Amino acid sequence: MTSAADTRDIAGWLRPAMLFQRGVFALSQAAAVLAALLVVGMTLHILLEIVLRLLDRSTFILDEMVGYGIAGATFLSLGYAFEHSALVRVGLLVDRLRGRARRMVETFCGITTLAVTSQIAWVIARSALRSFERGRTSSSIAEIPLWIPEAVCAAGLMIFGLQVFAWTLRQIFDLPGPVAPGDEDPLQNDL
């Protein structure tokens, strides 16, 4: 999806637009780092539970915490994965188009994505707000406030939405993106 031309260094009137693009991507990156920390946290919690079980003890909340962790990690890394073209799509149509036609189809895809995911983000955010207002907790011994994981997931989806919005603007105005395209082989693509 990204091509070499996307990385040309731009100056002049594009500067504020690029600041916005870089800012949004920085937000996606920060969320992805948080997601990575959640993956580390899940691993450590499972290992802790295994050790505790050998000592006849338990944290009693493993499946609950890992459930929140996987949901958070998935939603928080969406924007980052999106900007890295890691989210798969069927290229049947888009890969055959160039220039203006391509950008029109991409704009359509971006707007469609925003329409669906923003509604879902809104429903989850509303649920987080309700859990917060009513002081709802989980039924486990730890009584985790339910609004926390819900809010994290809603935030992840909103960051994704912002990233898609920034990307769609680039399609409309034919702007370059903030991410250097990786190696041809996505497996080697590090950053």
Partner 1 sequence: MDPLVSGLALIAMLVVTLGSGVWIFVGLLLVSVAGLHFLVGMPLDRVFTIAGTITYRSASTWEMAAVPLFIWVAELIFRSSVSARLFRGLTPFVDRIPGRLLHTNVLGCTLFAAVSGSSAATTATVGKITSSELLNRGYNQNIAVGSLAGAGSLGLLLPPSIAMIIYGILAEVSVSRLFAAGVLPGLMVSGLYSGFIMLMALIRPGIAPAGHQDFGLRDYLRGALDLLPVVALMGIVLGAIYSGIATPSEAAAVGVFAAFGLLILLGELNWGLIRASLMGTVRTSTMVCIILVSASLLSTTLGYLHLPQELGAAIGAMNLDPLALIALLALFYLLLGVFVDGVAIIVMTLPMTLPLVTAAGYDPVWFGVFLVLMVEIGLLTPPVGINLFVLQGLTNWPLGRVARASVPFFLLFGLAVILLVIFPQLALWLPDQLYGK
Partner 2 sequence: QTVTWDLANEYPPNSVHARSADTFIATLKEVSGGDIVVTAHHGAALGYKSLDQYDAVGDGALDIASSFATPWSGINPVFILSSIPFLVATPAEERMLYEIARPYYEAVLADDNQVLLFATPWPPSGLWGKKPLDSLEALSGVKLRTYDANGTITFGNTPATPVQLSWADTVPQLSTGAIDAVLTSADGGSASQLWEQQSHFTEVNYAMPLQFVHMNRDAYEALSDEQKVWVAEAAKAAEDFGWNLLEDRVAQNYAEMQGHGMTVVTGVDPAYIAALTEAAKPALEEWKGKMGADADAILSAFDAKRAQ
Smallest separation, CB 7 to partner 2 (Å): 42
Q: Please, which of residues 5-64 interact with partner 1 by CB under 8 A?
A: 32, 35-36, 39-40, 42-43, 46-47, 49-50, 54, 63
Stretch that binds partner 1, among 12-20, 71-79, 134-142, 173-181 (CB under 8 A): 71-79
167 binding partner 1? (CB under 8 A): no
Cα–Cα distances in angstroms (integers) from residue 99 to residues 30, 77, 94, 106, 145, in the given order: 32, 29, 11, 11, 49
Phi, psi of 10 (to 5 degrees): -110, 135
Encoding tokens for residue 57?
Answer: 């003890």
Look at the block and give the residue holding tokens 């207002």.
Answer: 133
Phi, psi of 80 (to 5 degrees): -65, -45
Cα–Cα distances in angstroms (integers) from residue 90 to residues 1, 4, 76, 183, in the given order: 12, 21, 23, 20
170 binding partner 1? (CB under 8 A): no
Asked if residue 161 lies in contact with residue 132, where contact means CB atoms within 8 angstroms, the answer is: no
Between 107 and 137, whose beta carbon lies closer to partner 2?
A: 137
Question: Would you tell me which residues interact with partner 2 (CB under 8 A)?
Answer: 53, 56-63, 127, 130, 134, 136-141, 143, 146
Q: Candidates 17, 30, 120, 169: give the one binding partner 1 (CB under 8 A).
A: 120
Q: Candidates 2, 59, 107, 117: give the one binding partner 1 (CB under 8 A).
A: 117
